[in-house]
Structure 1
């Protein structure tokens, strides 16, 4: 008996071509491509890594599927409409948006993540004259 839930089984992903320049002896030329580029391409990927990168999206899909099976199609459609309208709420281009409504709808306001600690207002690198920023966003400059 199937409930139509998305699969939770992790699928491994490996690139078909590694795409780094090989030197004279058939090894990567690290002086050209750099150490970090060779390491990221050669590293084996754990099967759970891709699943963990999309954790929030996977849990949202599963919750919407369970909601659809329990209450019908109207419930996920209503929630999707609320999330879409919450994403459209914005401020002037020179002000930082905190997305309070979107976070409360998705439940992210109950979590403390690294973005909450390291993405504070004193570290924001937005600088500029408000009038110039608004004029540029309107295409006047």
Structure 2
């Protein structure tokens, strides 16, 4: 019996093309491309890299599928509508938003990751003039 869950097995992703510019006589132009290792273009360094890239999306899809199977179709629809509404909540354009409501809905409020430490709004070097930022967002400037 299949519940329609996504596969947990790691599927290696190979690049679609080598990305080598071919010059005259189908020989790579080393002056523009430089020396390249063919092995690095063909292989993924580790199978877990491709799995980790889509971890959050796969986890969300699995949770939505499990919710649909246990509670019915209304539960994932309601959940996605609540997430969309939480994403649209905003402040003035020059104030950073913490997105705490979306974090609570998705369960990211109890996890600590690199995104919580690096690149936080209070350490950004870009500071705009509040009046100019609001006027630009309203289309006045």
Tell me by how many angstroms 1:28 deviates: 6.7
Question: Are 1:94 and 1:126, in contact at CA under 8 Å, matched by a contact in 2?
Answer: no
TM-score normalized by the length of structure 2 = 0.83
For residues 1-141 of structure 1, the aligned pairs below 5 Å read 1-21=1-21, 26=27, 29=30, 32-33=32-33, 38=36, 42=41, 44-45=43-44, 46-141=46-141
User: Could you tell me how far apart the structure 1 residues matched to 2:133 and 2:33 are?
Assistant: 37
RMSD over aligned CA atoms reads 2.6
Question: Are 2:10 and 2:47, in contact at CA under 8 Å, matched by a contact in 1?
Answer: yes
Alignment: residue pair count: 138
Task: Evaluate the alpha carbon distance shift between residue 84 and residue 34 of structure 1 in structure 2; reply closer, same or farther with a 3 A threshold.
Answer: farther
Tell me by how many angstroms 1:77 deviates: 1.0
Q: Secondary structure at the match of 2:92?
A: coil
TM-score normalized by the length of structure 1 = 0.83
- Per-residue CA deviation, residues 114-140 of structure 1 (Å, 9 max, x unaligned), is 111112344213311111111111111
Moved more, 110-119 or 121-130: 121-130
Tell me by how many angstroms 1:27 deviates: 5.9
Gaps of 5+ in 2: none
